[in-house]
Amino acid sequence: MPVKFPSFRSRREAMPDKLWTRCPGCSEQLFNKQLEKVLHVCPSCGHHFRLPATSRLAQMLDEGSFEERDLGLASVDRLGFVDQKSYVDRLAAAQVATGLRDAAIWGFGRIEGQRIAILAMDFGFMGGSMGAVVGEKVARAAEGALDERVPLVIVSASGGARMQEGTLALMQLAKTMAALERLRLAGIPYVSVMSDPTTGGVFASFAAMGDINLAEPNALIGFAGARVGAGTIGQELPPGFQRAEFLFRHGFVDRVVHRMDLRRELAALLRLITPRAKEASRG
């Protein structure tokens, strides 16, 4: 009679799934606690994982310096929109999943002691889509920077305008641009950081309009999708089209910055460009 040996699973397989994350770039299994220490960047291939807005702010700002504003703003269903689910149900599910009221957080904080107004978007909230609340928060962040005469930093992560709000969402493109134009006229610096993805109406409005435009490595950045673009012009698009490095080579992005270097890079840039705001205030 053949001997029956007990089956064993590897220690990694025996652990709960929530302890490990598979990298979509190289398929490496990454221990979540270790991944947190390297700011959610794969140590094997450099893939930059998408970050919740709260994690983004914690990584970028001096500890304990963030002062959130307009926490209570939340979207409403003006159109009574229903597809496979009602808009009300989608909002409720996104709020439970992320712990946020909508897809953006803004407030004031400090980077290496320098006070700034900052807004971070969360792709986990309905794809970071921009409806009336996101547009209002971007405008208020710009107005807050103008009032306090401090630089504005926006970290984008979005699939574009929120279809469930129709024309109300599209109106946010003009509203955010108007707020940024007032900031520009006052000489207040605005730094845009584009993460994966930054597309659609967000790219077509405030995301690409920084005095300095930064991007994370390999971030998808652009207006229409690559398949739509290829179909429209009837040509095959070049390799890496709409990725951060491609946009950098063609002058649409000023610099591609690894997440480990982003805080230090922002601090250095802010020290260089903030005097413009001080000179404008004296004038």
The pLDDT of residue 238: 83
pLDDT, one tens digit per residue, over 145-176 is 999 999 999 999 999 999 999 999 999 999 99
Cα separation, 98 vs 106, in Å, equals 16
Tell me the pairing of strands 212-215 and 221-222.
Answer: unpaired
All domains in the chain, ordered by first residue: 16-49 (no CATH), 50-282 (3.90.226.10)
Q: With 0-12 CB in 10 A as exposed, 13-18 as middle and 19+ as buried, what is 272? A: exposed
Nearest to 208 by CA among 139, 283, 260, 154: 154
The pLDDT of residue 278: 47
Q: Is the dihedral of CA 60, 66, 70, 74 positive or negative?
A: positive
The pLDDT of residue 14: 52
Residue that the structure tokens 């504005």 belong to: 152
User: Which residues lie closer than 8 Å to 177 by C-beta, 6 or more apart?
Assistant: 205, 206, 209
Altogether, the residues listed in the chain come to a count of: 283
Question: Across the strands, what pairs with 109?
Answer: 116
Cα separation, 119 vs 125, in Å, equals 15
The pLDDT of residue 73: 96
Cα separation, 109 vs 115, in Å, equals 6
| Predicted TM-score of the model (pTM) | 0.89
The pLDDT of residue 237: 81
Q: For the chain, 283 residues long, give each residue's pLDDT as a single digit of tens.
A: 555 555 545 454 555 557 999 999 999 999 999 999 999 999 999 999 999 999 999 999 999 999 999 999 999 999 999 999 999 999 999 999 999 999 999 999 999 999 999 999 999 999 999 999 999 999 999 999 999 999 999 999 999 999 999 999 999 999 999 999 999 999 999 999 999 999 999 999 999 999 999 999 999 999 987 777 767 777 888 888 899 999 999 999 999 999 999 999 999 999 998 864 444 444 4
Where helices occur in 75-123 by DSSP H, the ranges are 87-98
The pLDDT of residue 236: 81
The pLDDT of residue 6: 52
DSSP 27-83: --EEEHHHHHHTTTB-TTT--B----HHHHHHHHSPTT--EEE-TT-----TT--BS
Quick one: DSSP state of residue 118?
A: E
Query: How are the residues of the chain apportioned to helix, strand and coil, as percentages rounded to the nearest 5?
Result: 45, 20, 35
